[in-house]
Every structure is written in C-alpha cells, then in structure tokens.
C-alpha cells in the first residue's frame, strides 16, 4: 500500500494528476463558453428589442423582410465597418436568424454579406409586390432559397433551409 502512495506522490504521479486536473478545468471552461451568451446573441437581442440574454435565433421571424428590419439593418448601423453579419473573416458563419418563407423555415448565416442583404432591402423598396428571395430547385428536392438574380448579388450559402 505504501508503494502506491509513494508513486502517486512522486514527480511522475504529480505530473499525471496535474494533467488530469487541467483536462477537467478545460472541459469545464469549454462547457461554460458554449452555454454563455455570445457577443452576437446580445446584438441580436438588441436588434430585435428583446431582453438581453435571450437569443434571437430561438425566434422564427415571419419573413425575410422582417430579418432585414430587425437583424440586418440594426446590426449594420451598429457595425458599419463589418462586411459580414458576424464581423468575422475566413471562418464559417453560424445561424444569426431564422425566418419563414412559403411554409418552410430558413436560416440566415453569419457569413452573409451586408452588401447583398442591403441591396435586397433596396430592391424590395422598388418592388413592393415581389419577394426578394426565390426558391431554386435542388437534386434533393428541398430547394435552396436565394436572392433574386436581378438584385445582382449571388448569395450562395446565405439562406438555408433549417431542418
């Protein structure tokens, strides 16, 4: 029995114990980071007039136009230097808003560019009786929601069907 205690208290045993404790602390820190509200969650809440701490991603907005009014334009006013909705560069975007279109729910990705979305908003002002988005057929049959080609901004991977 004394040999086990000695080996645990030896330099090698203490090093193994330190590695195990560090691993536990890192797992705890990562878990808290994932559950804590992000900077973008706060921006979404501000943009929609919801109480801080409630993520706008949990709310399904009634239309693409509502996303422009309640998420895109306020975020652009708050961060005019950003090119993307999430302000990041070179990384995949996360969902920043959900909205309905023709009975399906779609997600707006944080990698979406302000210029394309603001152009869609301007197009809507000039064409109030038409939708700025169209469903393009795909092989799987689900369809992909795209900005109209006449808006002039290819918007691949901007609007996705949310499953």
pLDDT tens digits along 71-87: 999 999 999 999 999 99
At 119, is the pLDDT very low, low, confident or very high (cuts 50, 70, 90)?
very high
Q: Which of 47, 109, 120, 53 is nearest to 78 (CA)?
A: 47
- Spatial CB neighbours of 74, under 8 Å, sequence gap ≥ 6: 46, 47
Whether the Cβ atoms of residue 25 and residue 65 lie closer than 8 Å to each other = no
- 161 pLDDT exceeds 90? no
Burial of 126 (0-12, 13-18, 19+ CB in 10 A): exposed
pTM confidence score: 0.61
Q: Report the percent of the chain where pLDDT is more than 70.
A: 61
Distances in whole angstroms, Cα of residue 82 to Cα of each of 46, 56, 79, 114: 17, 20, 6, 8
Side-chain half-sphere CA neighbours of 103 within 13 A? 2
């Amino acid at each position: 029995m004394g040999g086990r205690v000695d080996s645990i208290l030896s330099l090698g045993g203490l090093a193994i114990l330190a590695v195990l404790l560090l691993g536990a602390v890192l797992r705890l820190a990562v878990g808290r980071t994932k559950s804590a509200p992000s900077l973008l969650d706060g921006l979404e809440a501000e943009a929609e007039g919801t109480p801080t701490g409630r993520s706008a991603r949990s709310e399904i907005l009634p239309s693409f136009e509502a996303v422009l009014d309640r998420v895109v334009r306020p975020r652009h006013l708050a961060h005019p230097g950003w090119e993307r909705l999430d302000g990041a560069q070179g990384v995949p975007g996360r969902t920043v808003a959900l909205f309905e279109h023709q009975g399906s729910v779609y997600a707006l990705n944080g990698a979406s560019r302000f210029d394309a979305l603001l152009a869609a908003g301007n197009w809507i002002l000039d064409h109030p009786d038409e939708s700025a988005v169209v469903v393009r057929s795909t092989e799987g049959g689900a369809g992909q929601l795209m900005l109209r080609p006449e808006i002039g901004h290819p918007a691949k991977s901007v609007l996705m069907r949310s499953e």
